[in-house]
Amino acid sequence: MSLRLKVNPIACEAHGMCAEVLPELIALDDWGYPILDERPITPELVDHAKRAAQACPTFALLIERDTPPQREE
């Protein structure tokens, strides 16, 4: 079972708190929106990842189980 970061791009308002709390996996683009490391979260960072998701004021940052990044239409 792996956990991965995911962002809801509609809810995201580029507050940037996630990148402050989890700089190891989240960087901000030119406009302040998060660029996520979409690989499985390593065990040492899981707690930080949860804090980052809680820190998001718009609940845009999500932690998902298992499903690797996919785009199905």
Partner 1 sequence: MSPRADIALPRLLAGMPAHGAMGLAEHRASSGELPYTTRRERRGAGALIDLVEQAGLRGRGGAAFPVARKLRAVTAAGGRTPLGKRPIVLANAAEGEPASAKDRLLLESLPHLVLDGGVLAARAVGADELIVCVEASAGAALQSVTRALSERERAGGDGLRIGIQTVPEGYVSGQESALVNLCNGGPAKPTLTPPMPFQRGVRRRPTLINNAETLAHLTLIARHGPHWFRALGTPADPGSALLTLSGAVSHPGVYEIEHGAPLQSLIEAAGGTTSPIRAVLLGGYGGTWLDGASIPELLLSNDRLACDGASLGAGVIVLLSAEACPVAEVTRATRWLAEQSSGQCGPCVNGLDAIAGALEEVLAGQPSAGVGKRIAHWSTLAKGRGACRHPDGVVSFVASALEVFAEELADHARHGPCDACVGPHVLPLPTPIELAAAA
Partner 2 sequence: MTVLLGAVGPSTYWYLTRSTGAVALLLLTLSLALGVAGVSRFSSPRWPRFVVDSLHRNVSLLALAFLLVHIITAVLDSFAPISLLDAFVPFAGSYRPFWLGLGAISFDLLLAVTLTSLVRRRLGYGAWRATHWLAYACWPIALLHGLGTGSDVKSTWLLALSIGCLAIVALAVGVRAITGWPEHARLRGAALGATAVFAVFLVLWLPGGPLGHGWAQRSGTPTSLLAGGSRK
One character per residue 14-43, x = contact with partner 1 (rule: CB under 8 A): x--------------xxxxx-x--------
Most distant CA pair in the chain: distance in Å? 34
Nearer to partner 2, 40 or 48 (CB): 48
Asked if 4 contacts 40 with a C-beta cutoff of 8 angstroms, the reply is yes
How many residues in the shown chain lie near partner 1 by CB under 8 A? 16
Q: Does 57 bind partner 2 (CB under 8 A)?
A: yes
Burial class (CB in 10 A: 0-12, 13-18, 19+), 34: buried
User: Of partner 1, partner 2, none, which one sits near residue 40, judging by CB under 5 to 8 A according to partner kind?
Assistant: none
H or E segment and range at residue 69: none
Query: Would you tell me which residues interact with partner 2 (CB under 8 A)?
Result: 11, 15-17, 20-21, 55, 57-59
